[in-house]
Structure formats: C-alpha cells, structure tokens
Amino acid sequence: MARKKVAILISGRGSNMRALIEACAAKSYPARIVAVVSNRPEAPGLDIARQRGLEAVAIDHTKFASRAAFESALDEILRAAGTQIICNAGFMRLLSGGFVRKWHNRHLNIHPSLLPAYKGLHTHERVLEDGVRITGCTVHFVRTEMDAGPIVAQAAVPVCAGDTPESLAARVLAAEHRIYPHALELVASGAARVRDEKVILRQSGAAPDTLFWPRP
Ligand code: GAR
C-alpha cells in the first residue's frame, strides 16, 4: 500500500515533529512526510526539519489581513505538497471551521493532557494545582472545538511527589513522542477509523489500547 503523505504543522520547538520524522524513516511505516509548515518564522523546528532534508516553510500568520487569508494560503501549500493527512505538532494557532471541515478525519492534533480534561494552555500547572495523580497526553482528530475530537491514542502518565510543571511536562513529553507515531500509524494504515465520533479499530471494532508511560 502507498504510504500516506503527511504534512506537519508546528509553531515552535518541534520535538513531536522530530518523533514523527524518525518514525517515518522506517520504510515499513505507512506514512511519509511531504511538508513541514510553521506559522512562526522563528520556530526552531523549521531548522530541525530542513537538517533532515524536508521541505519546511514558514507562513507568518501576522502578515495576513485575516484568519481566512492565512488559512487559504496554508491550505494551498498543503494541497500543492499532495498532503493526505495533517499532523498538528505543537501548532498553537486555532483553525476556523472552514479549514477544519475541509480536512475532516484527515487531521490530527496532540495535546498534553488526558482529554477531555485540561483543554487549552498551562495543562501541567493546572494538573498540579488540582492535585491530580494521573495525567497524560492525547492524539485526536481535529474538530472545530479546540482540543476536542475523536481520540486515537492516549497515554497515562503518573504525577510524582515533588513534580514541578517542568518535570511533569518532560515526563508527559516523553509519552507524547511514543503515542504520536503510534497514532499516526493506526490512522495512516487504515487500522483505525472514526465511527459515530469515536475511533475504533477496523479489525475488532474496539477502541485502541491506552498506553501507560513509563510502562508499569
Ligand atoms: C507539546 O507538549 C504539545 O502536546 C503541545 O505543545 C507542545 C509542543 O512541543 N500542544 C498543545 O498544547 C496543543 N494544544 P513540541 O513543539 O516540542 O512538539
């Protein structure tokens, strides 16, 4: 089967992007990267992508007169690259309904919490403030509501005594780097699909397993 053409959207560091690039390096992986796009020209992830020989472009959203104009330029770049699946990897710009609908069920996002808990920013700070013991990360299909949509993969990550937002973020990020390649593999291979706004495995009809990180 032909490998699915993936575009990665970033805004910053790009460590999840790097995890996807590394997964795509295996010939047996069902996806390959055709474009990396950042809405911030200074995103360090752009250089990481270029060093790995990928086409990486910045389209600075501040230079566009409207959200619609930015999104139509983004859509054009994605289509010109032959994109079949979009992966948001630390892409911190909200996309409007028009764009989201065009890429329905072909657009993934990663978020550093166990959704639907802790949508939005500062997830680790809020987890620590609430005294939550288990947190994690989620890869989900993008919908118009922020940080919502059918869940492809989640990893549960313990909150440890003495954690700071930084130490917790680092533990969750390590889990993110495991589940994003796993989730993209499920979607790109066709093993997972959306039915009634839930993700099920084609073979069993069951939801994909939850991962635990670090493994118990
Ligand atoms: C990651 O923790 C990702 O889950 C988060 O931004 C970070 C990007 O890091 N995304 C969101 O909060 C989206 N709502 P990275 O640039 O190193 O991949």
Q: Which of 114, 138, 171, 176, when mutated, tests ligand 1's pocket best, judged by the most ligand atoms within 8 Å of its CB?
A: 176
Provide the percentage of residues in the chain whose pLDDT is more than 70.
100
What is the distance in A from the centroid of ligand 1 to the CA of 168?
Answer: 13
Cα–Cα distance list, 22 to 100, 178, 200, 208 (Å): 27, 11, 26, 22
Do residues 154 and 122 touch, judged by C-beta distance below 8 A?
A: no
- Per-residue pLDDT, 35: 98
Q: Which CATH superfamily is domain 1-103 in?
A: Formyl transferase, N-terminal domain (3.40.50.170)
Q: Which residue in the list 107, 111, 140, 177 is annotated as catalytic?
A: 111
Mean pLDDT score, 179-198: 97
Do residues 112 and 123 touch, judged by C-beta distance below 8 A?
A: yes
CATH number for 110-140+147-216: choose from 3.40.50.2000, 1.10.3720.10, 3.40.50.300, 3.40.50.170.
3.40.50.170
Answer whether residue 216 shows pLDDT above 70: no
The dihedral sign for the CA sequence 166, 171, 175, 177: positive
- Per-residue pLDDT, 213: 75
User: How do beta strands 85-88 and 192-195 pair?
Assistant: unpaired
Mean pLDDT score, 128-149: 98
Mean pLDDT score, 171-179: 97
Mean pLDDT score, 137-163: 97
Max intra-chain CA distance, the chain: 50
- Per-residue pLDDT, 4: 98
Where in the chain is CATH 3.40.50.170? 1-103, 110-140+147-216
- Cβ-in-10-Å burial (0-12, 13-18, 19+) of 114 comes to buried
What is the distance in A from the centroid of ligand 1 to the CA of 137?
Answer: 10
- Per-residue pLDDT, 153: 97
- Per-residue pLDDT, 210: 83
Q: Which of 48, 86, 111, when mutated, tests ligand 1's pocket best, judged by the most ligand atoms within 8 Å of its CB?
A: 111
Mean pLDDT score, 151-155: 97
Residue range 26-53, pLDDT digits in tens = 999 999 999 999 999 999 999 999 999 9
Provide the percentage of residues in the chain whose pLDDT is more than 90.
95
Which residue, among 156, 149, 152, has the nearest Cα to 202 in the 3D structure?
152
Q: How far apart are CA 158 and CA 125, in angstroms?
A: 14
What is the distance in A from the centroid of ligand 1 to the CA of 16?
Answer: 7
- Per-residue pLDDT, 167: 98
Mean pLDDT score, 125-142: 98
Q: Is 124 noted as a catalytic residue in this protein?
A: no
Give the closest residue (by CA) to ligand 1 atom 9.
90
Residue range 55-100, pLDDT digits in tens = 999 999 999 999 999 999 999 999 999 999 999 999 999 999 999 9
Q: Is the CB of 89 under 6 A from ligand 1?
A: yes
- Per-residue pLDDT, 211: 85
User: Average pLDDT of the chain?
Assistant: 96
Answer whether residue 214 shows pLDDT above 80: no
Q: How far apart are CA 50 and CA 69, in angstroms?
A: 26
Residue in the structure block whose two tokens are 């993700």 = 199
Mean pLDDT score, 191-201: 96
